[in-house]
Amino acid sequence: MTKENTTSLEKKSLSGRSALSLLEFSSEEIFHLLDEAVKLKENPYSQALKGKTLAMIFEKSSTRTRISFEVGMLQLGGHAIDLNAKELQLGRGETIADTAKVLSAYVDAVMIRTTKHERVKELAEHATIPVINGLCDVFHPCQALADLLTILELKGTFENIKVAYVGDGNNVAHSLMIGSAKVGLNVSIASPLGFEPNQNLVEQAKKIGKETGAEIVVMNDPLEAVKDADIVYTDVWTSMGQEDEEEKRKEIFHPYQVNQRLMEKAKPTAHFLHCLPAHRGEEVTADVMDGEQSAVFQQAENRLHAQKALLKEILK
């Protein structure tokens, strides 16, 4: 199903590893996680993490991240603790370093969904247990793992497959780009001028792509990006924390709306993906979001399976 050389990874354990971004994982490790996710999707219940506890810190609101991590731990025989940052001493000025040391004494891993990547890195620096990035301003690695799993299910391979991402060059775009480069998946990203992905990360993805055969292209023309694409992907135009820019962004991003006209530029067999939540009538029209080409809810379900694979491997 995936690359044959993934079997060699079994000799190298992922136990104890943090997951701050997909840059820290090799191509073989990502393929291994995807293989594990497929197995866990087929057989969801086990006692693989019996006695293990995951602390979940939320500094940003969540639906899919919170539920999928909590359910994932339960299905693997473990336990998850939902921690609202405002209810922790973090909300009263306790340092991340102190919080990391305390949690390291109590639980087996920490997942954090926060505003700045620096906070994720600081937590991992001072923790003696694995730290998982549930989302920050730069990366969304768990979403990218679910995206790759979904694409693999839809297309059966990553070879000669093109993903077109249309919209804000944000954390989702960064992780999709890096994850795709790692597995040899071609990506074309179209963003408005001034809203392109981080150039340093683009260069890193292109460098990785040279080794895996992935072509990474960034442009401003959405029609050109979507041409002959197998997957068309978008995200909201205004992320949490950008509400004051909402009206300005609607005007700038309007030409990047994924609608039937744009989908017609992709292959007839193309599928539509969205990391959710979606705003019908803004970044995507309702007929695309709810149409036959949409696989967004399969993609949302795969957050559970991909994250279970990650949890199992780093906590086993």
Looking at residue 241, its pLDDT comes to: 75
Q: Point out the catalytic residue in the list 137, 147, 168, 235.
A: 235
Q: Is 136 a catalytic residue?
A: no
Selected catalytic residue, list 174, 274, 303, 305: 303
pLDDT tier at 1 (50, 70, 90 boundaries)? low
Distance of CA 103 to the CA centre of its chain: 25
Distance (Å, whole) CA 14 – CA 286: 41
**DSSP alpha helix (H) spans, 213-259:** 222-226, 246-253
Vertex 205: Cα angle to 202 and 207 (nearest 5) = 110
Q: Is 32 a catalytic residue?
A: no
Q: Residues within the annotated binding site?
A: 62-65, 89, 113, 140-143, 171, 235, 239-240, 275-276, 303
Q: Which candidate in 140, 249, 274, 305 is catalytic?
A: 140
pLDDT at 9 exceeding the cut of 70 = no
pLDDT in tens, 56-115: 999 998 999 999 999 999 999 999 999 987 778 876 789 999 999 999 999 999 999 999
Q: What is the pLDDT of residue 89?
A: 81
| pLDDT over threshold 60, residue 10 | no
User: Does 199 participate in catalysis according to the annotation?
Assistant: no
Res 243: pLDDT: 82
